[in-house]
Amino acid sequence: MLKGKERAALRAQANKMPAIFQVGKNGLEENLITQVDDALTARELIKIRILDTSLEDPREVADYFAKELGAEVIQVVGFTVVLYRKNPEKN
């Protein structure tokens, strides 16, 4: 569990990042979940954009990834989700 200042620092860092994944009309497919898992391992902090064509709710998408992948939801703003998962192999 992250503390307030840690979460704020990650939010600030995520502001400068582009979204690297998009959830569209196909929703949460297995392939997307695998790719998000790999990206969290490599980058630790990622941003996901929920497209207008998606039937998914951004908060539900964030909670789903957090539960399934052991990540933490840093923020959900509009249709953008920011996730963080510490990689123990990184310093």
pLDDT in tens, 20-30: 999 999 888 99
Q: Which amino acid is at 53?
A: T
- Secondary structure (DSSP) of 49-62: EE-TT--S-HHHHH
Per cent of the chain over pLDDT 90 is: 81
Q: Which amino acid is at 54?
A: S
Mean pLDDT value of segment 3-18: 93
Model confidence at 82: pLDDT above 90: yes
Band of residue 88 on the pLDDT scale cut at 50, 70, 90: confident
Question: Is the Cβ–Cβ distance between 73 and 82 less than 8 Å?
Answer: yes
CATH-assigned architecture of domain 4-84: 2-Layer Sandwich (3.30)
Model confidence at 55: pLDDT above 70: yes
| Predicted pLDDT at 1 | 78
Model confidence at 48: pLDDT above 70: yes
**What does the domain layout of the chain look like in residue ranges?**
4-84
